[in-house]
Structure 1
């Protein structure tokens, strides 16, 4: 017996907009809510109550954005940790995320941490980590060896 994560669900006010934002951030694509047609007009998603994104190669579980009537009011109890890949680095990705509309948030992390806490356009927190274990503090790098 065992289980596998099928998808991660994110409650939000505007599923289409948030799904497109995260698809852009992650380099993923929309797979539900637009009938698999990536060339469709962006407005076709606007009324969808559920919009899903997933990696283009299908290698990981998708993220489903679900419309809810209430606004986000407290810090998320679950969040994503993102790590730069494919030759990118933390500072390059930070600049890109801020350009896309992410904003820095303070959840009490302090100033001496090696990651950035950001929020998506609806305020959902996520962390931007360093690129590789060699860039982590030595105590963590020792554990990973």
Structure 2
């Protein structure tokens, strides 16, 4: 058996406010899973989990954001006019321009109301069928090693790998990409955005956890306790991710 990447968990100091921003930004539905703690975001018309998208959970935490996120999303656009319209609409919702040292690039870097960086991509052929989230982008120091881990940990397919970046996508050939981008920075604090993996129906969470440990994942205690239906791990570069129950 194996697993698929099903959702992004995004930390916030106010899940309802940040959840509202991202629901409006993506045109998705939002629902409160745990009042004041977790807000779920999902596109209308898809039954969770669906490989055509990666869902979002916004989770309230007490800690404020202190450093640039190592994981962010790229939003897709279909034309220069759409790019300009989307940037303007997002700023109207509360996004602000962000400088992460990107220089003169064809995409636009913004921050959401809690300071989480994200990009509005210029029109790209590879992003034409991804849905509103074009890619989940993760910083790393060794894209080749990280690509090997994520390629074996999930059923996502490796599309491209170089010393500078790697690209994976669901084995179904739909939905957003996972882009692993080489950066000189190393991880210093807990990521405020992490990935959630879920075994397929009939799979076994404990068996999958053991399998990814053998690939280089290690356990981490984030205060989750022993009675939660997920397992907290970190990948070989220390990025947190959760293995959920099969569904």
Q: Please indicate, yes or no, whether the TM-score normalized by the shorter chain is above 0.5.
A: yes
**As a proportion of its length, which structure holds more strand?**
2
Query: Shift of residue 86 of structure 1?
Result: 4.7
Residue 7 (structure 2) pairs with residue 7 (structure 1): no
> Following the alignment from structure 2 to structure 1, what is the Cα–Cα distance between the partners of residues 197 and 219?
14
Please give the TM-score of this superposition, normalised by the length of structure 1. Answer: 0.75
Q: Where do residues 26-45 of structure 1 align in structure 2 (5 Å cutoff)? A: 26-33=154-161, 45=162
- Secondary structure of 1:81's counterpart equals strand
Query: Shift of residue 76 of structure 1?
Result: 0.7
Residue 189 (structure 2) pairs with residue 74 (structure 1): yes
- Give the match for residue 143 of structure 1: none
Query: Shift of residue 82 of structure 1?
Result: 1.1
> Following the alignment from structure 2 to structure 1, what is the Cα–Cα distance between the partners of residues 172 and 230?
27
> Following the alignment from structure 1 to structure 2, what is the Cα–Cα distance between the partners of residues 28 and 86?
17
> Following the alignment from structure 2 to structure 1, what is the Cα–Cα distance between the partners of residues 160 and 215?
22
> Is the 2:201–2:246 contact (alpha carbons within 8 Å) kept by the matching residues of 1?
no
For structure 1, which runs of at least 5 residues remain unmatched after alignment? 34-44, 133-145
Residue 153 (structure 2) pairs with residue 21 (structure 1): no
Please give the TM-score of this superposition, normalised by the length of structure 2. Answer: 0.45
> Following the alignment from structure 1 to structure 2, what is the Cα–Cα distance between the partners of residues 108 and 16?
31
> Following the alignment from structure 2 to structure 1, what is the Cα–Cα distance between the partners of residues 229 and 156?
26
> Following the alignment from structure 1 to structure 2, what is the Cα–Cα distance between the partners of residues 51 and 18?
8
Residues 57 and 30 (structure 1), Cα distance of their counterparts in 2 relative to 1, 3 Å cut: same
Aligned length, in residue pairs: 119
> Following the alignment from structure 2 to structure 1, what is the Cα–Cα distance between the partners of residues 191 and 211?
23
Residue 224 (structure 2) pairs with residue 114 (structure 1): no
- Give the match for residue 137 of structure 1: none
- Give the match for residue 72 of structure 2: none
- Give the match for residue 36 of structure 2: none
> Following the alignment from structure 2 to structure 1, what is the Cα–Cα distance between the partners of residues 187 and 195?
16
Query: Shift of residue 13 of structure 1?
Result: 0.4
Structure 1 stretches (4+) deviating beyond 3 angstroms?
A: none
The alignment's C-alpha RMSD in Å is 1.7
> Following the alignment from structure 2 to structure 1, what is the Cα–Cα distance between the partners of residues 207 and 174?
25
